[in-house]
Amino acid sequence: MEKAKTFIKNKSRLLLLLLVVAIVPLFSGCGTSSTSDYVVNLEIWGTFDNSTIYSEIIDQYKKINPYIGEIKYRKFAQETYQQELLDALASGQGPDIFLISNGWLPAFENKLQSAPEPLMNEQDMKNNFPDVVAGDFMSDNKVYASPLSVNSMQLYYNRDMFNAAGITNPPKTWIEFQADVQKLTKLNVNGNFDLSGAAIGTSLNINRASDLLSLLMLQNGVELPTKKGLQAKIDEGVIGSDGNTVQAGEQALGFYTQFARLSTAANTINQYYTWNNRQHYSIDAFSEGKVAMMFNYSWQIKEIKNKNPKLNFSVAPLPQINADKPATYANYWGYAVSRNKIAPVSNVGGTPAAPPVPNEVRTHEAWQFLRYLTLKNSGTITLYNAITKNSADFPINFDPANDYIKKTQQPAARRDIIETQKADTNLGPFAVGNLIAKHWYQVDPVAVDKIFSDMIESVNRGDVTLREALTLAKNKINYLSGTSTIR
């Protein structure tokens, strides 16, 4: 029996090899082998995954693409990744393919090569991914990056604390959230928190505070820029559902900061006071059982379990203002292709470099790999020769993106895989949340994060009114993006 299985397996491999050999002349273009044959080595840089995650993906691809030599993956520390990447790209010795955050395109666009139209286009983005991806990774109708995973902010809650407070379900609306905060918060006689209801209200000790405030603004209808050239209008009124003008920015900022105020504007006790800058960092406080709720992404599940394996917690969908127009906030990464690269003498690991090829061939093959890696295939892969533009279909019984998601246990980027994750206890809220995730155009995400942080803290100190804080932040953001001359 084992001999029979081995014979069948070897026969299948032989048939695949013969098929590839038969297709290659058509793929390259008959009679033009001297000018159309080439070999490209690819180097990929990332910051989260180990190289073993990509081993099978790369092996399967090398079987079907005769023009690919070696594909090497390098992992970098997240703290130094961006600077190392920028330095390498500036020297012309950077990677062929590398991860960028969904907020990096404005800063990296001039360093990236967009996808050739046959390999990836706007329709591919819309068919394969949640709507937020096209907004983040497309510019002037061109694709600049493609993701394997998308992450959306959701609600983490401590089940034991909810049970003790008699709360049967996590809040679905922000009104319910306020009520739960009241029930969960416990102040002692010294005015300190024995238990905080939620990590919300400040910025310095809350992970991704600016994302949560952005989310509240988007849910309230605040006009934030979605592409270059548009202004942030966070201090301007918007037309509400009843036709009246609503100060949506003030509503969002006021709602957020109320949870860190001991008293109200009328000098009465604030019933929603639940957090201040003396609390431990939000992720630590949640892991320690000191706060009942926090907002974050799926990456923190593993960290929380490592910090406190016995913590009884779950993840629920983010509360909404309007159930008919739900929204959460996206924070994720995608793979992009470097525009220029000096041909190396040897590639990573000492593998001899392939003979130099034109930069257009290198970027073509890099995007061809990303097409294979991130888009859905129907049992065949269409590959294009970079020089002749001839194409051929190669059979494949392997889904790279699905393989990646299974190994990493991350919420999927592809719509069809999201469908399979909906019922997953841990990933379900994040996967479903990806479909309604929003993001906005930021020229410099680090600078915007500080602008939002300063805005929150200035309101909490009582230095400015809500409107003054919003106007100051708006002017800084628009000056940063070149859409305003006001500092």
pLDDT, tens only, 259-282: 999 887 777 889 999 999 999 999
* Predicted pLDDT at 19: 47
Answer whether residue 433 shows pLDDT above 70.
yes
The predicted model scores a pTM of: 0.90
Please provide the average confidence, as pLDDT, over all residues in the chain.
Answer: 91
Radius of gyration of the chain (CA): 26
pLDDT band per the 50, 70, 90 thresholds, residue 241: confident
- Tell me what the mean pLDDT of segment 406-412 comes to: 97
* Predicted pLDDT at 341: 86
Q: Which residue has the higher pLDDT, 256 or 355?
A: 256
Answer whether residue 8 shows pLDDT above 60.
no
Structural contact between residues 352 and 69, judged by C-beta atoms closer than 8 angstroms = no
Answer whether residue 63 shows pLDDT above 50.
yes
* Predicted pLDDT at 269: 86
Answer whether residue 7 shows pLDDT above 70.
no
Answer whether residue 2 shows pLDDT above 60.
no
| 445-461 helix and 466-481 helix, angle to the nearest 10 degrees | 160
Q: Which domains does the chain have, with CATH numbers?
A: 12-151+333-415 (3.40.190.10), 154-331+444-481 (3.40.190.10)
Which one-letter amino acid corresponds to residue 243?
Answer: G
Evaluate the CA torsion angle 462, 463, 469, 473 in order and state its sign.
negative
Structural contact between residues 259 and 181, judged by C-beta atoms closer than 8 angstroms = yes
C-alpha span between 15 and 68 (Å, rounded): 20
Structural contact between residues 209 and 453, judged by C-beta atoms closer than 8 angstroms = yes
Structural contact between residues 160 and 288, judged by C-beta atoms closer than 8 angstroms = no
152: CB partners within 8 A, 6+ apart = 297, 318, 328, 329, 330, 331, 411, 430, 433, 434, 436, 437
Q: What does the H/E/C string look like for the chain?
A: CHHHHHHHHHHHHHHHHHHHHHHHHHHHCCCCHHHHCCCEEEEEEECCCCCHHHHHHHHHHHHHCCCEEEEEEEECCHHHHHHHHHHHHHHCCCCCEEEEECCCHHHHHHHECCCCCCCCCHHHHHHHCCHHHHHHHEECCEECCECCECCECEEEEEHHHHHHCCCCCCCCEHHHHHHHHHHHCEECCCCCEEEECCCCCCCCCCCCHHHHHHHHHHHHCCECCCCCCCCCECCCCEECCCCCEECHHHHHHHHHHHCCCCECCCCCECCCCCCCCCCCCHHHHHHCCCECEEEECCHHHHHHHHHCCCCCEEEECCCECCCCCCCEEECCEEEEEECCCCCCCECHHHCECCCCCCHHHHHHHHHHHHHHHHCCCCCEEEEECCCCCCEEEEECCCCHHHHHHHHHCCCECCHHHHHHHCCCCCCHHHHHHHCCEECCCCCCHHHHHHHHHHHHHHHHHCCCCHHHHHHHHHHHHHHHHCCCCCC
Place of tokens 């393989």: 403
pLDDT band per the 50, 70, 90 thresholds, residue 352: low
C-alpha span between 478 and 388 (Å, rounded): 46
* Predicted pLDDT at 27: 55
* Predicted pLDDT at 14: 45
pLDDT single digits (tens) 312-346: 999 999 999 999 999 999 999 999 999 988 766 54
Instruction: Give the dihedral of Cα atoms 480, 482, 485, 487; nearest 10 deg.
Output: 0
pLDDT single digits (tens) 146-191: 999 999 999 999 999 999 999 999 999 999 999 999 999 999 988 8
* Predicted pLDDT at 284: 98
Place of tokens 């390259």: 28
Q: Which two tokens stand for residue 169?
A: 């379900």
pLDDT band per the 50, 70, 90 thresholds, residue 240: confident
Percent of the chain at pLDDT exceeding 90: 82
Judged by average pLDDT, the poorest of 197-206, 383-392, 431-440 is: 383-392
> What does the angle CA 90 – CA 94 – CA 99 come to, to the nearest 5 degrees?
110
Q: Which two tokens stand for residue 400?
A: 């790279």
Structural contact between residues 294 and 199, judged by C-beta atoms closer than 8 angstroms = yes
C-alpha span between 22 and 20 (Å, rounded): 5
C-alpha span between 288 and 307 (Å, rounded): 8
- Tell me what the mean pLDDT of segment 202-228 comes to: 97
C-alpha span between 229 and 479 (Å, rounded): 11
pLDDT band per the 50, 70, 90 thresholds, residue 30: very low
* Predicted pLDDT at 28: 52
pLDDT band per the 50, 70, 90 thresholds, residue 32: very low
- Tell me what the mean pLDDT of segment 357-364 comes to: 94
Which one-letter amino acid corresponds to residue 329?
Answer: Y
pLDDT band per the 50, 70, 90 thresholds, residue 351: low
Percent of the chain at pLDDT exceeding 70: 90
Answer whether residue 247 shows pLDDT above 50.
yes
